Structure 1
Amino acid sequence: MPTSRDEARGLAAERLASELRQDILDGRLLPGARLGEVALTERFNVSRGPVRAALNLLGEMGIVSIVPNSGARVRVIKRQDAQALYEVREALEGKATELAAKNNGAETGRRLQSLLNQHASEIRARPDGAYLQTGGDQDFHRVIAEMSENSIVQRYLSRELYPQLALLRVKHRHVTGRGAAALREHERIAAAIADADPEVAGLLMRRHIRNSWKALEAQLSENEEETE
């Protein structure tokens, strides 16, 4: 049975993991950066136990690599891994979009369109830039995942897939985006959800994810070569 000390250690590990996750996804800790236990214990003023637990949590999210006898580093996502992420993303988000169209309808469509109207003004300023979203209820894909009302789909997307995709964007932040095209695709998806058409909505989302991967893949190899 867990003791109060165990619970306190668990809470400390979660706090450390949350702070390190934010540092990684904001680009303050870049892919490949070493996460030394001694340095982290000094930074957070804790023992090694919570630090190791926090690193294990980040490892489970897929944004930290832990190598026995070598230590932990911010994960470097290679091209093959990036492709695998997008393949899983296509399947999960396609299903989430189908469920959102089944569960909701016109009101959901209006909510999504209102969100896309906010994004449109930002994209008009940088039509060839990345389609940057602030996360949470301002992120089109996260909102659709929430609308799916499927807790398992939401958990896999929010706890595993989205952090890894965010880390991938950190590494390739200078890759040319396709903001205007992505916005048009989002608008078609939102319209299909508003029409309560799960088949079309899911198809459009899968096509959107494939288009996103093609745009990234076209520049990925060259970008990796420059950093080696």
Structure 2
Amino acid sequence: MKSTLSTPLRVSSLVDTIVERLEGAIISGELPPGERFSEQGLAKIMGVSRNPLREAIRRLEGRKLIERIPNIGVRVAALSPRDLYDLLVVREALEGMACRLAAERMEDAEVEALEVMLARHRSQEGIRKGRGYYQEAKDFDFHFRIIRASRNERLVAMLCGDLYDLLRVYRYKSSTMKGRAGQALEEHERIVAALKARDPAAAEASMREHLRNARCHLFKHMDRSASEFSELDRPVLTRPDDGAA
């Protein structure tokens, strides 16, 4: 597999490109949560000088993807199993609420844009081959668009704030589990169908089902220290019209 970090750079803005390259390596797991690294070693791998690399790391620190630990150094940010579980439970409730509001407030053009987005996602090689479901950030992110469409700035601030990028790491990790990428896309399509039908209850239930299933897959495949949490969840197998979320 070709390394994301060592691919030759062709850049107009070196710092921006280093940020993108590091972000891709973190999201994909090439640089996994908790991984320590030296600026000097990373600069050598990427074939860049330390000044632009240092600025790129500073930017990613601001996005909570990289952290500096006293007496330890620089590492990829990580959440403990307890912190991650609690955060994902809260995310399910809040994003379910955001989806309910979006069903009431989205414009038709926004729903159509989501349909176009999912059509593009279905053609992704990673989804077709079951390797993972990768989404770029912000406006290229299915969840981000729905949250923004809730038109509730408090929800947007909570769900798209400090931990948004770090959660993307774990979202992608969940999608790489066997059978999950295609299932996640189908769940996205059910969410869009509920939004298009302007059915707030079904939209919320579909989103909560999707997020709970993602959480289940993630904790089922994490290391043994997280096993206590995997026992708390089971994948949701019912549909919203069955009266379950």
Normalising by structure 1, report the TM-score. Answer: 0.69
* RMSD, aligned α-carbons: 3.8
Q: CA offsets, 1:130-178, max 9 Å, x none?
A: 2222334332111112212233322333332331123336777864351
Instruction: Measure the CA separation in 1 of the matches of 2:26 and 2:156.
Output: 22
Q: Which residue of 1 aligns with 2:211?
A: 209
Q: Which residue of 2 aligns with 1:191?
A: 193
Matched position secondary structure for 1:73: strand
Q: CA deviation at 1:209?
A: 0.2
Verify the 8 A CA contact 2:133 2:175 in the aligned structure 1.
Answer: no
Q: Which residue of 2 aligns with 1:96?
A: 98
1:125 aligned residue (125, 128, 148): 128
Q: CA offsets, 1:78-105, max 9 Å, x none?
A: 3223212311221221122122112125
Instruction: Tell me the amino acid that sits aligned with residue 128 of structure 2.
Output: A
How many residues are treated as equivalent by the alignment? 207
Q: CA deviation at 1:117?
A: 1.6
Instruction: Measure the CA separation in 1 of the matches of 2:175 and 2:186.
Output: 22
- Percentage of identical aligned residues: 34
Q: How does 1:160-199 map to 2 (within 5 A)?
A: 160-168=162-170, 175-199=177-201
Distance 1:124 1:59, change over 3 A: closer
Q: CA deviation at 1:212?
A: 0.8
Q: Which residue of 1 aligns with 2:241?
A: none
Q: How does 1:52-67 map to 2 (within 5 A)?
A: 54=58, 61-67=63-69
Distance 1:172 1:44, change over 3 A: farther
Instruction: Measure the CA separation in 1 of the matches of 2:112 and 2:204.
Output: 18
Relative CO higher for 1 or 2, CA cutoff 8 Å, sep ≥ 6? 1
Normalising by structure 2, report the TM-score. Answer: 0.65
Distance 1:62 1:80, change over 3 A: farther
Instruction: Tell me the amino acid that sits aligned with residue 166 of structure 2.
Output: Q
- Structure showing the higher helix proportion among its residues: 1
Q: CA deviation at 1:110?
A: 2.2
2:51 aligned residue (45, 53, 56): 45
Q: How does 1:138-177 map to 2 (within 5 A)?
A: 138-168=140-170, 175-177=177-179
Distance 1:184 1:51, change over 3 A: closer
Instruction: Tell me the amino acid that sits aligned with residue 45 of structure 1.
Output: N
Instruction: Measure the CA separation in 2 of the matches of 1:60 and 1:24.
Output: 15
Instruction: Measure the CA separation in 2 of the matches of 1:51 and 1:124.
Output: 30
Instruction: Measure the CA separation in 2 of the matches of 1:177 and 1:135.
Output: 23
Distance 1:177 1:223, change over 3 A: farther
Distance 1:184 1:28, change over 3 A: closer
Distance 1:28 1:193, change over 3 A: same
Q: CA deviation at 1:184?
A: 1.7
Q: Which residue of 1 aligns with 2:112?
A: 110
Answering whether residue 87 of structure 2 is matched by residue 81 of structure 1, we say: no
